[in-house]
Structure 1
Amino acid sequence: METIQKYREYVCTSFVAAVEPVVVERASGATVVDTSGREYIDCFAGIAVTNAGHCHPKVVAAAKAQADKLVHAASYVYHVPVVADLAERLAQITPGALKKTFFGNSGAEGIETALRMAKAYTGRNEFIALTHSFHGRTVGTLSVTGNMLRKKRGGPYLPGVAFAPAPYLYRNPFGTDDPEVLAQRCADMVEWAIKYQTSGNVAAFIAEPVLGEGGIIVPPANYFRYVKEVLDRYGILFIVDEVQSGFGRTGKLFAIEHYGVEPDIMVMAKGIADGFPLSACIARAEIADAFQPGEHLSTFGGNPVSCAAALANIEVMLEEDLPGQAARKGEQALAQLRELAAEHELIGDVRGLGLMIGVELVSDRRTKQPAAKQAAALRAYCREHGVLIGVGGQEGNVVRFQPPLTITWEQLERALTVFADGLRTVSRS
């Protein structure tokens, strides 16, 4: 309890409803161990960060070896081999013609880079974003975030941002339950936003291929293809935010690969280095080269230790087929969760790709009234029974399953059993 008390006295945590009462001492794979020795199955992975599992031996070994040689050298002042190697590797594994990378420290820094890069290349200064989206907590990234709960008391935000409806099938303003109709209508609204909410000076459209903080919202299959047709008509760049959905999480190395379109700029973070702080903003060469001297920099960006961890992490992803593991395990988890939905009125919707899964809880299926209190109670039940899950969504009523992709079948089955038991308990109460 000493650590918890120190948190109360010295760590600023007023921005979260409550810090989980778990004092983490160590972790391995999908197992977290507290200071009393109690083990938990981690189904949140540090908010979808430790995709290759906690403390993967190859990743840790690579970071240790690099730390023995060089910890920091200002990677934009000097040439550092491991930074060059990682940039080359990202150009090889990312979709389309993405080639040149700017390294930062966080997803928000990566998104800020993408926004500035789009402005520099196009000479334009407006953006189109989606409702329910989340892109970071700086003023710039919150300006393109469509989520009131994340933005409150932080304004005024930057002008020049227009919003189109997220392709959220369970809750959409068009009254349709047809994914194809939704895809077309939402894409049409992107063009509507361009024509009626901007001055016609739009540099880029930014979107998450699966909206994470918004409640694990999975767009219909054709949505991004329709949107890309709109963007191409207006000469607008496509920025894809893979901060949370990247690195195997959705069953492919990058979630945008599910949709068959190529982004102009892509941002990665979270799962890129299996827990070491790093972000990457990769773009087509001509777009990245639009920056002029003095327009951008990051003191700690391209940290050699984090870059070494990221290189090892990529090799682990490919060698162990972690995207394939995520696809197979996610398919099983989704099937079981949908069976539970048939039994429990508390579940309004189950959705996801790979091991990026959301279970939306409602107190009334007819009205779709969000059940935030029940979601919090379910999270507490799971924690008390040895399973760590997340809760998100605009209304705080979406249970989030985002475990390390290395979670074993036995651990996954145990976690789903605890979740099912928790559902019964919370439903009764």
Structure 2
Amino acid sequence: MTAVCLMSTYQPLALSFTRGLGTRLWDQQGREYLDAVAGVAVTNVGHSHPRLVAAISEQASLLLHTSNLYSIDWQQRLAERLAQLSGLDRAFFNNSGAEANETALKLARLHGWKKGIEQPLVVVMENAFHGRTLGTMAASDGPSVRLGFQRLPGDFIKVGFGDMTALEAITAQFGTRIAAVLLEPIQGESGVLVAPPGYLKALRDYCTRHGWLMMLDEIQTGIGRTGTWFAFQHEGIVPDVMTLAKGLGNGVPIGACLARGAVAELFTPGSHGSTFGGNPLACRVGCTVLEIIQQQGLLQNAARQGEHLLARLRMELDEHPQVRAIRGKGLMIGIELANPYRDLAQRAVQEHGLLINVTRGKIIRLLPPLTLDAKEVEMIVRAITRLLD
């Protein structure tokens, strides 16, 4: 089978899987692999979880889709549960992370409009990644993402991630036009760059003082990835707006934008919408994922195994001449190399049966399911150590 009828947007490895279970995948020849990517932080409760399979099967036999012209019970249940877990008030459901971020950007525009700002600005971060739509590309950083897509929306101003001094400087210049700040608590695509301790708390206070929305993109960090439901909970704050996707559906497409207070009241009938967003299947899956994480203690497991994995990697690789940094939180870990290594992901697959994600040729990202155990931690450490030898 060839890919001649697919647009050339990806460069996949010559590898195709036929089934998965937990942290493992099997290819067409029956070879087993340890999955340390989880579909890029998606299959948080693992592949083919029996409770999830049962929920999908039952819901498919009952009702896949109606539309938002009618009330959807599972949508209301999921919104209520996410509000309870996050401290925010209301949710809007769509189908992806980019759509969730577009929803947040529309809320920022409405917030600015309510304040009488004719051309509101949103502060975003250097090295950020928020999606592939024109709006979310404009909010992202990096020439490779934006190449060929000129004249992007210009309603953004970039500052250094973690740099409050830079934020104060642009406030002096653009403060009357700023409506919101959008950022990832941990910048995943740029190499698992963790916000400095205290930065999110300082930013929360700063936004409150200036009447700006604090909007957190938790598409990759949310749903238990860092050892708490949401990464912002490590600093004891609550944002005004939060976006989710990836792990919420464990592979079934779903995105969500949550807001609190007056911001949650900004949308009115007709000001936003989605054909598929929040349908019964996706929302029942979301509810089931949250139940599995809670009942199986996967937040605690992600925190414990993530700490163990980070410590073991540092023990083995801190003195390695090609390792510049090892960083992360929970089961979201990045290993930054001094120089690009050739075909790291391919070699990991062929030589060690390990799936890893490599960005920019020299940043290994580890994003395994939250069900990872101590034996599998050791398997990952051994494989990465041998890859770099």
The amino acid across from 2:83 in the alignment is A
Structure 1 residue 406 and structure 2 residue 382: aligned? no
SS in 1 for 2:385: helix
Contact 1:209 1:218 in 2 (8 A): yes
Q: C-alpha separation between the residues in 1 aligned to 2:60 and 2:382?
A: 41
Structure 1 position 81 matched with structure 2 position 73: yes
Q: Residues 360-416 of structure 1, C-alpha deviation per residue, up to 9 Å, x if partnerless?
A: 000xxxxxxxx23x1x43222211120000012xx4421000001112322221122
Q: Which amino acid aligns with 1:205?
A: V
Counterpart check, 1:383 vs 2:346: no
Secondary structure at the counterpart of residue 350 of structure 1? strand
**Separation in 2, partners of 1:251, 1:293:** 37
2:292 pairs with 296, 308, 316, which one?
A: 316
Correspondence for 1:92: 84
Tell me the residue number matched to 1:35.
Answer: 28
In 2, Cα distance between equivalents of 1:285 and 1:220: 27
Which amino acid is the alignment partner of residue 382 of structure 1?
A
User: Which residue of the partner structure matches residue 49 of structure 2?
Assistant: 56
Identity level (%):
37
Tell me the CA shift for residue 285 of structure 1: 4.5
The answer as to 2:299 corresponding to 1:334 is no
Given the two structures, how large is their TM-score scaled by the length of structure 2?
0.95
Per the TM alignment, residue 199 of structure 1 is displaced from its structure 2 partner at its CA by 6.3
Q: 1:155, CA displacement in angstroms?
A: 2.0
CA RMSD, 1 decimal: 1.3
Contact 2:121-2:178 within 8 A present in 1 as well: yes
Q: Give the Cα–Cα distance (whole angstroms) in 2 for the partners of residues 192 and 21 of structure 1.
A: 49
Distance in 2 separating the partners of 1:240 and 1:252: 15
**In 1, distance between residues paired with 2:388 and 2:157?**
39
TM-superposition CA deviations, 1:47-106 (whole Å, max 9, x none): 0000010111111211211111111111x2100111111111111111x3x111000000
- Post-superposition CA distance 1:178-203 (Å, at most 9, x none): xxxxxxxx01212222333x362211
**Other structure's SS at 1:307 match:** helix
The separation in 1 between residues aligned to 2:40 and 2:319, in whole angstroms, is: 28
For the Cα contact (< 8 Å) 2:317–2:385, is it kept in 1?
no
Take 2:361 and 2:197, find their aligned partners in 1: how far apart are those partners? 26
1:26 deviation in Å? 0.7
Q: What's 1:247 paired with?
A: 223
Q: Which moved more, 1:270-279 or 1:58-67?
A: 58-67
Which runs of 5 or more structure 1 residues have no equivalent in the other structure?
Answer: 168-185, 363-370, 425-429
Report the alpha carbon displacement of residue 271 of structure 1 after superposing the two structures with TM. Answer: 0.3
C-alpha distance in 2 between matches for 1:110 and 1:195: 30
Aligned residue number for residue 15 of structure 1:
9
Question: SS state of the match for residue 176, structure 2?
Answer: coil
In the aligned structure 2, how far is the partner of 1:343 from the partner of 1:279?
41
Q: Which residue of 1 aligns with 2:112?
A: 122
Does 1:136 pair with 2:103? no
Q: What SS does the corresponding residue of 1:103 show, helix, strand or coil? A: strand
Q: Distance in 2 between matches of 1:82 and 1:201?
A: 39
Which residue of 274, 281, 284 maps to 2:250?
Answer: 274
CA contact (8 A) 1:103 1:301 kept: yes
Task: Identify the range of structure 1 (145-154 vs 50-59) with the bigger mean alpha-carbon deviation.
Answer: 145-154
CA distance in 2, matches of 1:306, 1:328: 29
Question: Which residues of 2 match residues 352-367 of structure 1 at below 5 A?
Answer: 352-362=328-338
Residue in 2 that maps onto 1:305: 281
Q: Which amino acid aligns with 1:52?
A: V
3-state SS in 1 of match to 2:186:
coil
Count residues with an aligned counterpart: 383
